[in-house]
A and B are shown apart, each in its own frame.
Chain A
Amino acid sequence: MSTVIKYGHVIEPSTGISEKLDILLDGKIITQIGKDLEGDEVIDATGCIVCPGLVDIHVHFREPGFESKETIESGSRCAAAGGFTSVVPMANTMPTIDNAGMVEFVNRRARETACIKIFPSACATKGMLGEEITEMAELKEVGIVAVTDDGKDIPSSWVMRRVMEYAKMVDLPYMAHCEDHSLLVNGGAMNEGYNSTRLGIPGIPKAAEEIMIERNARLAELTCAHLHVQHITTAGGVDILRRYKAKGVRITGEASPHHITLTDDAIETYNTNAKMNPPLREQSDIDAIKAGIADGTIDIIATDHAPHTPAEKDVEFELAPFGILGLETSLGLVLTQLVDEKVITLERAIEMMTVNCAKIVNIDAGVLREGGPADICIFNPDETWVVDANKSQSNSRNTPFDGMTLRGAIQHTICDGETVFST
């Protein structure tokens, strides 16, 4: 039985298509993209954008180990509600995902419980301890698409160099959380600046991030490995990325929706839902990240979706865990912060949330093509909606955007031809 998505405006960044077209699906496959197509069933996309299912290569689904925060099942529902059909969960679970058996566990849970596609990552070092590299070749055989010690950096430059060389050999990107922990002996919990001084909270200087972006970029230059810099939050970080890209180093970078939306002013009332790592910075950083997005220095948007339970967050600011939800608000924030503010076009925004992400981790996602997977996101770009944390699909509620009005409402998320979310 075939389904046709009619009357929508198709945006397909890999081919540059942006026009009114219909898409015909049969089973898990897109069979035709064209005008005036007919099928057994019709999805009316009048007034909507039809684009590839969104891709997020930086999420935390917490399974195994922290299922009260999130599971592969609940996380995938969150993703579907946000228009995503492919995600890469991070490996900082308990135990960590650092061997083939653990990856197979994630694969099985994804098969059994997830409504979208889960592409696992694995730790670059055993136990995420930053000491011994993992069996990346075997890990790749069982399906990982990247190695990362996300959540922390690898302190030893020696180990980092070997991680990169080995990752390059097996053709996997290293996704780097850049943070010089030795600069944070004070237990930094928010951006270091006037607000941290006033609130009396130990600060995280921008230099802590920039030192490691610079070091990792140098090592990428040395090893010719693919370095992907996660969640860039500082003007200096954007500059480093720009500089190494100009030199031809294999380096890509991501920005998170919250880092282009909020400054550390959001912490004013010790709001733990505005606590994440790296932290919210300042307006000048937001401006620089937007400039980096506009000129292509930053390749993708990724959410760093990081659920924590209300009880874990409802404590003293310094004791609260880092991280916020991201999947359900990502598209709305991108449209509101980047498209409405004319930083980039809608087409470019979708490119940064689909095909560019898929390219970094080399997965078959983020494009609409005849014969390709029927992974599709349909959203109404003109419809506004109000974020309600209590309606989240997540097991957690930790969003600083509760009550915020966003533009761009997901109508249908289709994964492998099946509707996995619809309003």
Chain B
Amino acid sequence: MANENVWTRKHLIGIEELSREEVEMVLDTAPQFLAVQDRESGIKKVPLLQGRLIANLFMEPSTRTRISFELAAKRLSADTLTFSASSSSTKKGETLHDTLANIEAMKTDLVVIRSPFAGAPALLTESHTSNIINAGDGYHEHPTQALLDTFTMRQHIRKLREDDTATLDGVRVALIGDISHSRVARSNIWALKKLGASIILCAPETLIPMNIQKMGVEVTSNLKEAMTDADVVYALRIQMERQASSLFPSLREYIRLFRVDNESLKHAPDNALIMHPGPINRDIELASDVADCNRSLVLEQVSNGVAIRMAVMHLLANSAQPTDQE
């Protein structure tokens, strides 16, 4: 557990196990790295991880998250290598342990892992020496996404309220879309709960996982209800292939019931913020004009993502390592 202002974790696996203080520590560390990106000198780099080797181990296709982590590592002056493997090739051959052991044999300091299987990053923390960052594991967690999302929300709540110390306490967030298959939703629920926000999930019943209410959220299939009083409207990406497994009848009907557009947003407050983790299916879960409007934070999420990932890498790699790591 974190002492005040001291980071003690070796790995970042999920938000669930973090304390509020730990979440806030990451959010409070990010602005200095955001400033690095905006330096007038144009030198967008600090030497905090110079000489360290960071490996990106991506076991499922990813572009955005991978390049965001790569860039974060480079801006911290670390050396990087990226290992992309499809899960099917590892199914046939090498185990995840062996894959990481081979990468670690090249003396990595920190490993970022993305896996289609829940629990893969946790599995690696048991018997390897590198710091591990979970860049998304199955439907389990995507902690850096939730950190960058809550950071972005907090920034804008502070701006709107003209209060540099405003928190997310009492802020209402509507998470709309495929909750069942979303690690982004799960990590955001944990992060928002810890930061005092209230959450309403909105999805077809087929895409709401069993007993998710126990995480401390409200659940509805009525978009109007979800929008009402929402300070933040967060649309999740809908995977087209879900239609084939009878999870929703057609995109047409999904759009009718669940699209975030100017029509449905009439039920939300006028200044509600619009977010999406990307990549957007334009005009399916999020209308184009809404995605591009001035309340949309979609591109800021991307910029903030690099700063948050720099903050996480810095905290993990440059903090004294405790022996009683969970």
Residues in B whose Cβ lies below 8 Å from that of A311:
95
- Of chain A, the residue at the smallest CB distance from B211 is A194
- Of chain A, the residue at the smallest CB distance from B190 is A198
A243-276 with Cβ < 8 A to chain B: 269-270
- Tell which of A194, A201, A205, A315 touches B118, judged by Cβ atoms closer than 8 Å: A201
Contact B210 A201 (CB under 8 A): no
A73 contacts the other chain (Cβ, under 8 Å)? no
- Of chain B, the residue at the smallest CB distance from A267 is B119
Contact A196 B186 (CB under 8 A): no
Q: How far is the CA of A230 from the CA of B137 in the complex (A)?
A: 34
Contact A314 B95 (CB under 8 A): yes
Minimal beta-carbon separation of B197 from chain A (angstroms): 19
Contact B117 A318 (CB under 8 A): yes
Residues in B whose Cβ lies below 8 Å from that of A186:
245
Contact A197 B119 (CB under 8 A): no
Residues in B whose Cβ lies below 8 Å from that of A194:
210-212, 214
Contact A199 B119 (CB under 8 A): yes
- Of chain B, the residue at the smallest CB distance from A201 is B118
Contact B138 A200 (CB under 8 A): yes
Contact A198 B245 (CB under 8 A): no
B154 contacts the other chain (Cβ, under 8 Å)? no
Of B91, B96, B118, B138, most A-chain CB atoms within 10 Å: B118
A149 contacts the other chain (Cβ, under 8 Å)? no
Contact A201 B95 (CB under 8 A): no
Contact A314 B97 (CB under 8 A): yes
B136-154 with Cβ < 8 A to chain A: 137-141
Q: How far is the CA of A230 from the CA of B120 in the complex (A)?
A: 32
Residues in B whose Cβ lies below 8 Å from that of A198:
16, 186, 215
**A316-B117, A318-B117 given; A196·B209 CB < 8 A:** yes
**A270-B118, A318-B118 given; A197·B209 CB < 8 A:** yes
- Tell which of B117, B141, B215, B245 touches A319, judged by Cβ atoms closer than 8 Å: B117
Minimal beta-carbon separation of B57 from chain A (angstroms): 13
A171-188 with Cβ < 8 A to chain B: 185-186
Contact A269 B183 (CB under 8 A): no
- Of chain A, the residue at the smallest CB distance from B95 is A315
**A314-B97, A316-B117 given; A270·B211 CB < 8 A:** no
Contact B119 A319 (CB under 8 A): no
- Tell which of B16, B96, B139, B214 touches A315, judged by Cβ atoms closer than 8 Å: B96
Residues in B whose Cβ lies below 8 Å from that of A192:
210
Q: How far is the CA of A266 from the CA of B210 in the complex (A)?
A: 18
- What are 18 pairs between A and B in contact, CB < 8 Å? A186-B245, A192-B210, A193-B211, A197-B210, A197-B212, A198-B186, A199-B119, A200-B138, A200-B141, A201-B119, A270-B119, A270-B122, A270-B123, A311-B95, A316-B118, A316-B119, A316-B120, A316-B123
Closest CB pairs A-B (n = 10): A200-B140, A270-B119, A200-B139, A316-B117, A200-B118, A194-B211, A197-B209, A317-B119, A194-B214, A316-B120
Supplied contacts A192-B210, A197-B211, A318-B118, 13 more A-B pairs, CB within 8 Å = A194-B210, A198-B186, A199-B119, A200-B139, A201-B118, A201-B139, A269-B122, A315-B97, A315-B123, A316-B119, A317-B118, A318-B138, A319-B91
